[in-house]
Amino acid sequence: MTDYSHLITEIPDFPTPGVLFREISPLLADINARDEIIQKIGVFIREKNIEVIAGIDARGFIIGSLLAEKYHLPFVMIRKAGKLPTNLTIEESYTYEYSEATLTVRGEFLKEKNVLVTDDVLATGGTLAAALRLAERSEARKVYWAVLLELTSLWWREKLREFEIFSAIQYN
């Protein structure tokens, strides 16, 4: 696959001092790059017999809904707390690079399915771990992960090595 790392804008000290934010808008705006990435993830989808796409609020919705539409799969939203009725959801709280958050999902859509969770960036793995716990608590059969950008120098892979992850771009 073509190296599209030049389409990622690095913004220092955003959203807090000391954080180097990777902005994916130029990548999404490049039709050829976006199409090639969607096709490569499509190979992963077929290999893993994915039955449902679950996108994480908010940027995971972009890649997830593109994949769900192209490969004719259901799309499930993993939302931030307070965005879905609590009587219909399960929730999972976690800590990530610079804050804490809670994710929620309507778990019945994941039950007994092979699930591909999508997000924009994989950094320290806090969001990944929370989404995986939500899918497991929803009784998903098998859970996989697809991201546009993976920060390989961070510690998450050691903790979560049993999960298969597709990443379009890797930063060291």
CA distance 64 to 116: 9
Cα separation, 64 vs 53, whole angstroms: 6
Catalytic residue among 22, 34, 59, 79: 59
Structure-block tokens of residue 35: 């199409």
- Based on the residue annotation, tell me whether 79 is a catalytic residue of this protein: no
Among left, alpha and beta (phi > 0; psi -120 to 50; other), residue 139 is left
Buried/exposed 83-109: b ≥16 CB within 10 Å, e otherwise: ebeeeebbbbebeebeeeeebbbbbeb
CA distance 122 to 18: 17
Single out the catalytic residue among 22, 34, 79, 97.
97
Q: Identify the bridge partners of residue 77 per DSSP, sorted by sequence position.
A: 55
Q: Which residues contact 109 (CB under 8 A, 6 or more apart)?
A: 52, 54, 74, 76, 138
Active site residue 46: no
Residue 58 φ/ψ, nearest 5 degrees: -115, -35
Active site residues: 59, 97
